[in-house]
Homo-oligomer: A and B are copies of this chain.
Amino acid sequence: MAGKRERIAIRRIDNLAARQVTFSKRRRGLFKKAEELSILCDAEVGLVVFSATGKLFNFASSRT
């Protein structure tokens, strides 16, 4: 019923809806990886993302 994943080319996704869905999914994945890297490797990580519509998302590791 689902799951026919194909490889995709790394270039701007034309379809707006698809692009937004992909943005949400990959953004979460990216932030998760960023946090994992900081924890696993005791590194400091700062990440800032602006969506195409200007919405801000950010992460910063902190050892206070």
The interface of chain A, by Cβ under 8 A from chain B, is 8, 10-13, 19-20, 22-23, 26-27, 29-30, 33-34, 36-37, 39-52
Interchain residue pairs with CB less than 8 A apart (13) = A12-B39, A12-B41, A12-B42, A19-B42, A26-B36, A26-B40, A29-B33, A30-B34, A45-B47, A45-B50, A46-B46, A46-B48, A46-B49
Choice from B41, B43, B52 contacting A42 with Cβ under 8 Å = B52
Decide if A37 touches B30 in the complex (CB within 8 Å): yes
Measured between alpha carbons, how far is A40 from B45 in the docked complex, in Å? 22
Decide if B47 touches A19 in the complex (CB within 8 Å): no
Decide if A37 touches B26 in the complex (CB within 8 Å): yes
